[in-house]
Amino acid sequence: MDATDARILLALAADPRATIVALAEQLGLSRNTVQARVARLEQGGALDSFERRITPKTLGHPLTAFVTARVHQHRLAEVSEALAGIDEVVEVFGLSGETDLLIRVVATDVEALYGIAGQILAIPGIERTTTALAMRELVPHRLTPLLRRAAAGG
């Protein structure tokens, strides 16, 4: 990614619905250049899914919790597949260190969260879990500072 790609991504971050023509005008680039670069960024995986912008609260799931799990390593693929089968599991990260997985879950209320945590613990291959309720988001997901740095050429 070069500075021009970063400028395009910054413009899209500010206005995700911007058309290629509007982006080209705003950035002082040709429509073909912007279209080709956006297509390349999409194909390269630089642009995440639209789902990322939908808040779980709007879907009736106002609670967010983080579950850490220890896993029998030879069952990691099986555990990952089982976690993907739980609708309320919205992200799973493999970790280094004492715990193996960080699982982000959303829930309608604490009773539902208790049930989800039980589902996770019941997955064959999971040794132990710890659940922490997110009280509030202090720094939301963001990439704009990194995009600004890249757009400036640094």
Domain boundaries, the chain: 3-47, 56-134
pTM summary value: 0.80
Report residue 125's pLDDT band, with 50, 70 and 90 as the boundaries. Answer: very high
Per-residue pLDDT at 51: 66
Report the CATH fold assignment for 3-47. Arc Repressor Mutant, subunit A (1.10.10)
Residue 52 pLDDT exceeds 70: no
- Taking the C-alpha atoms of residue 10 and residue 1, their distance in angstroms, rounded to an integer, is 13
Residue 154 pLDDT exceeds 80: no
Residue 6 pLDDT exceeds 80: yes
Sheet containing 63-71, strands listed edge to edge, beginning at the edge strand earlier in sequence: 89-94, 101-107, 63-71, 126-133
Per-residue pLDDT at 53: 73
Residue 100 pLDDT exceeds 80: yes
Per-residue pLDDT at 50: 67
Per-residue pLDDT at 62: 96
* Torsion sign across C-alpha atoms 8, 10, 14, 17: positive
- How do residues 63-90 score in pLDDT, each as one tens digit? 999 999 999 999 999 999 999 999 999 9
Per-residue pLDDT at 47: 82
Listed in sequence order, the residues at least 6 apart from 33 whose beta carbon sits closer than 8 Å to its beta carbon are 4, 24
Per-residue pLDDT at 104: 98
Report residue 46's pLDDT band, with 50, 70 and 90 as the boundaries. Answer: confident
Residue 79 CB-half CA count within 13 A: 25
Per-residue pLDDT at 54: 81
Who wins on pLDDT, 1 or 101?
A: 101
Q: Does domain 56-134 have CATH number 3.30.70.920?
A: yes
